[in-house]
Amino acid sequence: MDLFDKCGRLTKPKEAQAAGFYPYFIPLQSEAGPEVTIDGRRLLMLGSNNYLGLTQHPDVKEAAIKAVEKYGSGCTGSRLMNGTLDLHVELEARLAQYMQKEATIVFTTGYQSNLGVISALVGRHDTVVVDRADHASIVDGCRLGLGEVVRYRHNDMEDLDRTLASVDNRHGILIVVDGVFSMEGDLVNLPEIVRLKKKHNARLLVDDAHSVGVFGEGGRGTAEHFGLQGEVDLIIATFSKSFASIGGFVAGSEEVIYYIRHSARSFLFSASLPPASAAAVLAALDIIEREPERRVRLWENTRKMKRALDELGFDTGLSESPIIPIIVGEDFRLGMFWKAAFDAGVFANAAVAPAVEPDHALLRTSYMATHTDEHLDRALDIFAAVGRDFQLIP
């Protein structure tokens, strides 16, 4: 058999393209603000993780430009060798202080953060316990690790308890969970996970990619939101959401971070975060700390849209975050619903299996602090009209 035979059997995307409702790889012709330009047409952007709206902030842009002028466009090497800048050192120190942890490491992408941390910590005789709805980067980090991988039912604490009880605790146990689940926007049951972590002598890693900048009084994520900052051993987050850049980091104790720094292959063997990206994160962190009103506005927008979509009759699941799904069900119907909303002026994200459970296809909408009431009201008018056309709402 030819290795490439499988490539010709990938037909579903081609079928969607031929039918005119392929929702992926659509090029933007503008910055990803609350509105975007696509094929010369202005659309409402309800598909971005730019929660605080900082990718357009003049301070963030200026910091990135100045970094390019001073350091150039790239670092030309890994952090281990020649790729560490004083910017990286400053950023790691600032993030540790902000996250109220002893130390941090900055990775080149958020995806690499999970790959590197999990595979470095989970050895041959260890076990990693994951929620079935965890992000793909967590799944792949587990695959790279040498230990056993055990999954429990999504946010089912009784099943987690049973799963942990079945694990041989003579070796290490790491629970890895998303703080906010990225497709449906539901929140981790962190208080119960912390209780079970202690009961079964495990360690806990929370991927707060969609939580840092959003949840908690200071925007430090789900641990701060629940008042459990000192109970979470490791927090991973990304720079591609609230921090308006690209990259990621892990925060934890000095000893563990030192070990990861010398053991995580995705850190050791990747070129380091470009200067412009690092400088943009530092500028975004300044704004996050000095402008809490952005987070207030984000939550006002989130509550408005969740309430209004529910009142219209849409199924928005168990969302407790700025990620609010409109659950459609069947893939083909979702494609048509997405296209109708897109043609009417809304850009949102179509999610199908394996990103979600089979027959649970959904339109993933997400909101920003920079959305105005006019933006949101226009989106609601479009969703109401399209939802009735497709008999998703009365």
pLDDT for position 222: 98
Q: Which of 257, 290, 323 delimits the end of a domain?
A: 290
pLDDT for position 164: 97
Residue count of the chain: 394
Residue 45 contacts residue 33 (beta carbons within 8 Å): yes
Domain co-membership, 155 together with 109: yes
Q: Closest by alpha carbon to 328, among 21, 20, 13?
A: 21
pLDDT for position 252: 98
* Partners of 366 in beta bridges: 323
Domain co-membership, 262 together with 301: no
- Please tell me whether residue 115 adopts helix, strand or coil conformation: helix
Domain co-membership, 98 together with 229: yes
User: Which strands sit side by side in the sheet containing 349-351, from one edge to the other?
Assistant: 323-329, 361-366, 349-351
Q: Is residue 185 part of a domain?
A: yes
Q: Is residue 285 part of a domain?
A: yes
Q: Is residue 224 part of a domain?
A: yes
Domain co-membership, 273 together with 159: yes
> How far is 382 from 367, CA to CA, in rounded Å?
16
> How far is 271 from 333, CA to CA, in rounded Å?
42
61 backbone dihedrals φ, ψ, rounded to 5°: -60, -45
Residue 231 contacts residue 204 (beta carbons within 8 Å): yes
Q: Is residue 394 part of a domain?
A: no
Domain co-membership, 244 together with 379: no
Domain co-membership, 48 together with 82: no
- Please tell me whether residue 56 adopts helix, strand or coil conformation: helix
Domain co-membership, 225 together with 146: yes
Q: Which of 290, 308, 324 delimits the end of a domain?
A: 290
- Please tell me whether residue 113 adopts helix, strand or coil conformation: helix
Residue 224 contacts residue 216 (beta carbons within 8 Å): yes
Could you tell me if residue 359 is left (phi over 0), alpha (psi between -120 and 50 degrees) or otherwise beta? left
Residuewise pLDDT in 10s, the chain (394 residues): 899 999 999 998 999 899 888 999 999 999 989 999 999 999 999 999 999 999 999 999 999 999 999 999 999 999 999 999 999 999 999 999 999 999 999 999 999 999 999 999 999 999 999 999 999 999 999 999 999 999 999 999 999 999 999 998 889 999 999 999 999 999 999 999 999 999 999 999 999 999 999 999 999 999 999 999 999 999 999 999 999 999 999 999 999 999 999 999 999 999 999 999 999 999 999 999 999 999 999 999 999 999 999 999 999 999 999 999 999 999 999 999 999 999 999 999 999 999 999 999 999 999 999 999 999 999 999 999 999 999 999 9
Domain co-membership, 271 together with 304: no
Domain co-membership, 281 together with 248: yes
> How far is 128 from 163, CA to CA, in rounded Å?
11
> How far is 190 from 155, CA to CA, in rounded Å?
10
Euclidean distance between the first and the last CA atom of the chain, given in angstroms as a whole number: 52
CATH of the domain at 269: 3.40.640.10
> How far is 288 from 241, CA to CA, in rounded Å?
12
Residue 302 contacts residue 324 (beta carbons within 8 Å): yes
Domain co-membership, 91 together with 240: yes
Q: Is residue 105 part of a domain?
A: yes
Q: How distant, in Å, are the alpha carbons of 35, 192, 216, 291, 317 from that of 185?
A: 22, 19, 16, 24, 9
Give the chain's domain count: 2
Residue keyed to tokens 């990803």? 32
Domain co-membership, 192 together with 311: no
CA angle (46, 47, 48) in 5-degree steps: 105
Give the domain extent around 366: 5-56+292-389
pLDDT for position 129: 98
Q: Which of 249, 275, 290 delimits the end of a domain?
A: 290
Q: Is residue 106 part of a domain?
A: yes
Token output for 202: 């495990």
Q: Closest by alpha carbon to 219, among 284, 273, 305, 277?
A: 284
Q: Is residue 370 part of a domain?
A: yes
Q: Closest by alpha carbon to 166, among 192, 200, 137?
A: 200
> How far is 315 from 336, CA to CA, in rounded Å?
17
Q: Closest by alpha carbon to 366, among 188, 145, 144, 214?
A: 214
Q: Is residue 320 part of a domain?
A: yes
CATH of the domain at 301: 3.90.1150.10
User: Does an H or E element contain 323, and which?
Assistant: strand 323-329
Contacts of 262 (CB under 8 A, 6+ apart): 268
Task: Give just the sign of the alpha carbon dihedral 45, 50, 54, 60.
Answer: negative
Domain co-membership, 22 together with 93: no
